[in-house]
Amino acid sequence: MAKRSNTKQKIVLALFELMKTHSVDEVTVSDICKQASVSRMSYYRSFKSKQQILEYQFDVVFQEFFSYLQVMNNHDMTAFLDAFFTVIRRHRITVHILIKADLVGIILDKLQFYITDLIDKDVLKVRDRASKMWIAFVAGGLTTMIVEWDKDDMIESNAEMVMIARKFLK
């Protein structure tokens, strides 16, 4: 199992390295395998597509976010936002590559999924039961904030980002 995990990580790193200089459409499975030093068989055992690799990597980012939130004592919106911007900054290269590749939809979809999951598991405390529309609003707003933050090379501090987001999430 550790070997498969290591292979997956090599494939992920290879794709992201290649996406620094090529669009996701230009990168071939052969390119990824060569960069990762893995066989095509290993590639297809690990992933079905490049899209799945990108989603897998963003799941890794969100698992860190989820873990970060779980160890915090306070699970209100401010703590959620602080954890969110901390983890996004920590993974700024991954985020930047996804944005540059025009794959913001992955960020939005994953955010909606994970916000729903955090609320369902009572990790994120909200006043009223959150509707799908509220979750869509929050995920859309945070995704757009990430895109703009990335364009500005994340010059705003995490605290500034939390303060801006809190204005809309009272």
- What's the average pLDDT block by block, 10 residues per block, for the chain (170 residues)? 79 95 94 97 96 91 83 78 93 91 90 88 71 89 97 96 89
Q: How far is CA 158 from the centre of its chain?
A: 16
CA gap 12, 60 in Å, rounded: 11
Which pTM value belongs to this model? 0.84
Output DSSP code: residue 26. T
Instruction: State the pLDDT at residue 101.
Output: 86
Q: Where in the chain does DSSP place strands (E)?
A: none
- Find the farthest-apart pair of alpha carbons in the chain and give their distance in angstroms, rounded: 51
Instruction: State the pLDDT at residue 1.
Output: 53
**Contact criterion met (CB below 8 Å) for 125 and 69:** no
Instruction: State the pLDDT at residue 162.
Output: 96
Count other Cβ atoms within 10 Å, centred on residue 13. 14
Instruction: State the pLDDT at residue 40.
Output: 96
pLDDT tens digit string along 8-54?
999 999 999 999 999 999 999 999 999 999 999 999 999 999 999 99
